Amino acid sequence: MTIAGLISVLLAAGGNAAATPLGETVWVDGPEGRVRLIASGESRGSKTRQRWFGLTFDLKKGWKIFWRSPGAPGLPPTIDWSGSVNLRAGDIIWPAPVVFDSFGYRARGYGGRVTLPIRVTPIDPADPVMAQLRVRYQVCKDICIPGEVQLALTGVGSAPMHPAITRALKQTPKLAGSDFMTWQAVVAGRRLIVRIRHRSQPLVQPTILVEAPEAIRLGRTGLPWFAPDGTVSVSVPVLGTKPIPVEFRVRITAISNTGVWERAVTVSGRGD
């Protein structure tokens, strides 16, 4: 192997020797973009001493990766943590996605440069977390291309919060709680009707995303409509001919100019 070839292999592995003092691997080239892993210290006030990593994608113009629920034929990024040390759990905390057209579908995902925050819980909070990641993902534009990169980085509890992770966490949905008078979904025929009403402010230019169990296939969400009291509603078709369960849960995400919220609710009634 040539020296240049050996360097390429080391970069693809995301070796710690190439990491900067900020807690970053070097950029690793993938299809139509590049990827790197970043790290931060503990969550403030966390009782479990959680730490944060971040998976940053830097995509070429027009190319997209997918959200946890793509809404179209596509695959969100997945992480294989095999080989990691002092890791109990690692979970992606998904920022609010954008909605875009993909092969005739309304897909949900991200373009440009985006960081996916990863909440990590160590086995022993006193020791560093040595993360070994195999990341599989898909990028789409006129075609879809699978990608896979391997990254490695050590995150310690004393490290400062990485600014890219801080920015990404500000874009993640808050729990829709007592600020909302209405946050519900009901079945009307073979459609799911979602209704949301904030107590003090209307949702401005909202995008409503609905995730259902795998056994329930949802179609394209219709345009929102507004009631005089500020309630925003959308209608989502339930595809297929199988009977709709009497009771099931959906996760609703509301994205607007005034904020981003999400909440899981039980669909138990029938609407008009």
Lowest mean pLDDT among 2-16, 46-60, 127-141, 211-225: 2-16
> pTM for this structure?
0.87
In this structure, are strands 33-42 and 144-155 parallel, antiparallel, or unpaired? unpaired
- Stretch 120-127: mean pLDDT: 92
Name, in order, each residue with C-beta under 8 angstroms of 246's C-beta and a sequence gap of 6 or more: 268
Q: How far is CA 200 from CA 155, 197, 262, in A?
A: 41, 9, 17
Counts of helices then strands in the chain (DSSP H, E): 2, 19
pLDDT at 13 over 50: no
3-class DSSP state for residue 18?
helix
Q: Which residue has the higher pLDDT, 145 or 126?
A: 145
Of the candidates 132, 258, 150, which has an alpha carbon nearest to the alpha carbon of residue 203? 258
- Stretch 252-260: mean pLDDT: 95
In tens, the pLDDT along 153-193 reads: 998 777 788 999 999 999 999 999 999 999 999 999 999 99
Position 246 scores a pLDDT of 86
Are 163 and 192 in contact, with CB atoms under 8 Å apart?
no
Position 72 scores a pLDDT of 82
Q: Which residue has the higher pLDDT, 57 or 42?
A: 57
In tens, the pLDDT along 21-40 reads: 458 999 999 999 999 999 98
pLDDT at 2 over 80: no
Confidence of residue 8 (pLDDT cuts 50, 70, 90): very low
- Stretch 144-153: mean pLDDT: 96
Q: How far is CA 45 from CA 11, 166, 250, 261, in A?
A: 35, 15, 30, 22
Q: Which residue has the higher pLDDT, 11 or 49?
A: 49
Are 208 and 173 in contact, with CB atoms under 8 Å apart?
no
Q: How far apart are CA 156 and CA 21, in angstroms?
A: 12
Of the candidates 219, 225, 212, 223, which has an alpha carbon nearest to the alpha carbon of residue 253? 212
Q: How far apart are CA 164 and CA 172, in angstroms?
A: 13
- Number of other CB atoms surrounding residue 21 within 10 Å: 6
Position 44 scores a pLDDT of 52
Per DSSP, 165 falls in state H
pLDDT at 7 over 80: no
- Number of other CB atoms surrounding residue 270 within 10 Å: 12
Position 138 scores a pLDDT of 97
